[in-house]
Amino acid sequence: MFVAWSAAFYSKNSAILTIMPGEHLDENQQRFLLNLVDYFQKELQHGGPLLPLNCIQERVANAFGISIRTVSNCLKRTAAKAPLAEDPQSETPPSSSKMKRADRKATFPYTPRKKWKTTDLPDPIKMQIRNEIHDMYATGKHVTLATLNEQLKLRDIVHISKTSLNILLQDIGFAFKKEGNRLMLMEHSTGDVFREDMDNSKKCEKVG
């Protein structure tokens, strides 16, 4: 189901997977194919799906190596172009306020939105957060709860509050600890202190 949905997603929106017999794969098609092979190999080694089966957009984004926003925007554009089915004999359903509770549930079913707990995020997302921390320090960016949280939202990795992010950092092995009069980000597994200036180990920014 996942493979079929992924193929349909790209064939309808960008024709990346629309390949005729005898045609050669271009660079983009090869890249997406390799990303899919790599993703399924990881699932094989994992012994099952890396993400829950109901997280379709997240699985597609991880498999193709793109952001969730790209998948979501593409689906929105496709839905906007799809013609609406019209039935002249159809009747407008009665207002839910005038219906009995049981009838309202049957006519207007409520599907709660999937919301991950802070410490129950999938391992691939936790790994992306860890990599983002390393990348920010390696490029000399300010790393505080505020700047890290903003960067994670900009890259569509995860959208949580600073309080939840602080809890998550501790869960994946990071913590802000006080040294002198400054708070410094440390990784428990190695005991290393990450500093903003990697060349001269100048200082670490305060928590935002």
Rounded to two decimals, the pTM is 0.39
Check residues 96 and 135 and name the one with the higher pLDDT.
135
Rounded to an integer, what is the distance from CA 38 to the centroid of its chain? Answer: 18
Q: Tell me: the pLDDT tens digits for 127-173?
A: 888 888 888 888 888 788 888 889 888 888 888 888 888 888 888 88
Res 70 pLDDT > 50: yes
pLDDT of res. 8: 45
> How confident is the model at residue 201, as a pLDDT?
37
Report whether 166 contacts 160 (CB < 8 A): no
- Of the candidates 143, 109, 130, which has an alpha carbon nearest to the alpha carbon of residue 190? 130
Do 129 and 136 touch, CB atoms closer than 8 A? Answer: no
Task: Specify which residues 178 forms β-bridges with.
Answer: 183
Q: What is the SS3 assignment for 109?
A: coil
Distance (Å, whole) CA 116 – CA 198: 34
Q: Are 176 and 184 in contact (CB under 8 A)?
A: yes
